[in-house]
Chains A and B, each alone.
Chain A
């Protein structure tokens, strides 16, 4: 550190009074760069030797920040649990959490920081498929284990043999949605989802399954993200006069859509949200009252304890359904490290692949040959009086 201090200090403190603006100008830039460099060095030195550190890249800011925060809570709970049970390899477990800002470039930077600075053998992340895929590909190239706790695009399968998912992908989700909507007696649907890796994937799967059952998707509106309003899309939906609006959207965007649909009187048509808690997380309650939807279950059939632990720690109900998946990701990584008797990425990968049936907070998890979660217990939920309730069968 001392070595870095020299050149930083020189030009910053060097110029005496009355120096020209040019020197001061340069010193401001040098000081800023120096501060960043010092911060970088400091973090390396602070790493303790008696800890096994895993990494996580989550959207802690940006459009999906509500979900990212919930994912982080899952990690916090898991780390406490693992350490209360004696840690890993006789050492303490820690998870270094980095913010992706919901942006691919920052997500890759964060993954690089975890791999090359914190030397984490496992990186958990991200949430949007468009960020998870490049992060996963980078980790695959570096030989680091990747665990996806939140993206459901079928393209996740193609990342490679170092990549695992603790959440079911959309080929399973689309089929469940189609059956649920058809089962409610709806035949004529419109589909509204973001035009990205997630939206296109889930649309293709839902459409195929819904039409195989005999239903019809009369309009497909894959919208551009980040618009200030969605009236054009909503008016086209109104014109199509559907039985049901099947939709999905990330927190803040879904909130805009729901508010405008409410204002246009479109909320009288039944709405069916795919991952409903994601769609309603940031919406005003009156705009989404009565919406139905499918959800990955917050917890598996034997996971009531997880709900209690979450409530006890954070003093509220789950904000989204996504915290359990990061919890399971950390727990499975810890189990794999203990099983392998080593924190080497290659050994952890082998142990993860051979973990067999794992009893997670989100239900039983088993990986298929591509490292993806084989079965995913979904539920039908409805939004009533400010919270999600499991719909009566």
Chain B
């Protein structure tokens, strides 16, 4: 049982990193990235390919982050002339593109079978010690990511990002170069998502194209929206909540003793209704963004 709880916490921390990244892009900067899983996937595949080639993971992980940052940079450049809604659609297409490359380039990505048997984290330890070490690493990296994201939000750059979100024309009129801001924030968000993807691969010792389906992007979106768009802590809370729900709801049927043919429907129903309930009761998310008073209101 404890082991399973550790697993849920590790997955929460990993998805927490991905959610903090998306929150920086969508929450702080207003960039509706519907291709978040592509950045996650680039990091995941880069780490898988490099560790398979014999690189130790402490070296592969930064390389995966760099690859995903490059991916973020490219997505930002790609849409520089597009209006926000059109750019959002383009990101969805880019994510599918990345998945299709992963699916079809067998020589590099293992094709539909994916890449398995990856060395993984802490091969020297076993059982509980390994899970604890992995959790410590993931939590530390989540903390680091969250601190970077939070610090970034407090800088002048962060203020420009929020202005870009609220009123891009005003930001341009004030002399800020929107395209540069966009590209920068996507590269930073990309590195974070790549870190999450790399950790995911190392932890599960497997990555395949099925893990890059658009559904996964929307799962990360659910985390950010439930937690509270625009708030770093919200993204972390959202990731913990959604991951726990997905992993925890199957336990309900063990307690309530439902017939097992209802198992599948129960999960879909329970997750749907909880998400709906939170959004109706807390439209701003569980931990809404708090703007500093003199930013939010006139005295």
Contact = CB atoms under 8 A, between A and B. Distances in A.
Q: Do A and B bind each other?
A: yes
A196 B112 contact: yes
Given A28-B282, A41-B1, A103 B264 contact: no
B267 interface: yes
Contact of A106 (B114, B246, B248): B246
A197 B102 CA distance: 12
A304 interface: no
B100 interface: yes
A37 interface: yes
Between B205, B215, B240, B248, the greatest number of chain A beta carbons within 10 A of the residue's beta carbon is seen for: B248
B137 interface: no
Contact of A25 (B100, B264, B287): B287
Contacts of B103: 195-196
Interface stretch (A110-118, A317-325, A347-355): A110-118
B155 interface: no
Given A60-B264, A130-B112, A113 B4 contact: yes
Interface residues of B, number: 52
Interface residues of A, number: 58
Nearest to B257: A46
Contacts of A198: 112
Nearest to A46: B254
Contact of A101 (B209, B255, B264): B264
Contacts, number: 149
A42 B282 contact: no
Interface string A161-205: 000000000000000000000000000000000011111100000
Contacts of B264: 59-62, 65, 68, 99, 101
Nearest to A119: B1
A61 B261 contact: no
B100 A134 contact: no
A98 B112 contact: no
B163 interface: no
A273 B211 CA distance: 28
B7 A112 contact: yes
Given A68-B264, A72-B261, A33 B113 contact: no
Nearest to A97: B260
Contacts of B216: 105
Nearest to A40: B251
A319 to B, nearest CB: 12
A60 B254 contact: no
B207 to A, nearest CB: 9
A200 B114 CA distance: 13
Interface in B99-123: 100, 103-104, 111-114, 116-117
A62 B263 CA distance: 12
A385 interface: no
Contacts of A103: 210, 213, 215
Given A112-B4, A113-B247, A133 B114 contact: yes
Given A36-B245, A195-B112, A101 B267 contact: yes
B206 interface: yes
A109 interface: yes
Contacts of B252: 39
A42 B251 contact: yes
A76 B1 CA distance: 26
A387 interface: no
Given A36-B244, A42-B254, A197-B113, A28 B286 contact: yes
B169 interface: no
Nearest to B265: A61
B78 interface: no
A227 to B, nearest CB: 11
A36 B249 contact: yes
Given A32-B245, A72-B260, A117-B4, A131 B250 contact: no
Contact of A32 (B111, B261, B274): B274
A137 interface: yes
A134 B206 contact: yes
A374 B215 CA distance: 37
B194 interface: no
14 contacts: A25-B286, A28-B281, A28-B282, A37-B244, A37-B248, A39-B248, A43-B251, A43-B254, A76-B260, A113-B4, A131-B210, A134-B114, A138-B205, A197-B113
The 9 closest A-B pairs by CB, nearest first: A60-B264, A36-B248, A61-B264, A43-B254, A197-B112, A116-B3, A39-B251, A42-B255, A99-B264
